[in-house]
Chains A and B, each alone.
Chain A
Amino acid sequence: KAGVTQTPRYLIKTRGQQVTLSCSPISGHRSVSWYQQTPGQGLQFLFEYFSETQRNKGNFPGRFSGRQFSNSRSEMNVSTLELGDSALYLCASSLTPRTVRSSEAFFGQGTRLTVV
């Protein structure tokens, strides 16, 4: 069974540009969560999607957005990139958020975004 796949693995963008990151969950998993990891702030929750609906959003500006498709793949988009958006972006997939057992999280390798 394939794990969680994030693409691309590495990305360099210029300030002001926009970027789209992709996350393909484990087959059968319908819940995808996104996290940002920086040296200063550690791991922080961005969004959670289940059945194509955003269920939760973290405390990030509106430049950060996401969506989930009918096949459970998810994308996140960051517009008007700032230097501070440089980070490792991780996604995690779970079966569903309904029970503790079904919520066990499996993480991808992450996308390392550098904004110059």
Chain B
Amino acid sequence: KNEVEQSPQNLTAQEGEFITINCSYSVGISALHWLQQHPGGGIVSLFMLSSGKKKHGRLIATINIQEKHSSLHITASHPRDSAVYICAVRLGGATNKLIFGTGTLLAVQP
């Protein structure tokens, strides 16, 4: 069993829909990252969370430390949101090592 599990693996949505991507982990962590990867490879960090909720534009990320679960929400989705979304956890201690989920491929159709 992977230490970081994401669901769904693939997601197709219509423009304007509300989208949720889930991430569960089984290890102790100090922070959780949500990353976005477009075709071509470059990764952009969307959020780094250690508790609660963060919002940036149409993106919202939440984390429940007790339940070891995080969600990424996209409101009013747009075709430019089409990308792979990856959950990654930073373990406890003085390390920047990240463990990644397998990613969610999101396609938003106009």
Contacts and interface: CB of A to CB of B under 8 A. Distances in A.
Contacts of B50: 100
A107 B45 CA distance: 8
A81 interface: no
B90 A103 contact: yes
Q: By DSSP majority rule, is chain A's interface helix, strand, loop, or mixed? A: strand
B21 interface: no
Q: By DSSP majority rule, is chain B's interface helix, strand, loop, or mixed? A: strand
Given A48-B97, A100-B31, 5 more contacts: A42-B102, A45-B99, A97-B94, A100-B90, A109-B40
B98 interface: yes
Interface residues of A, number: 29
A97 B41 contact: no
Q: What 9 A-B pairs come out closest when comparing CB atoms?
A: A107-B43, A43-B100, A109-B42, A110-B41, A97-B96, A100-B31, A97-B94, A56-B97, A103-B96
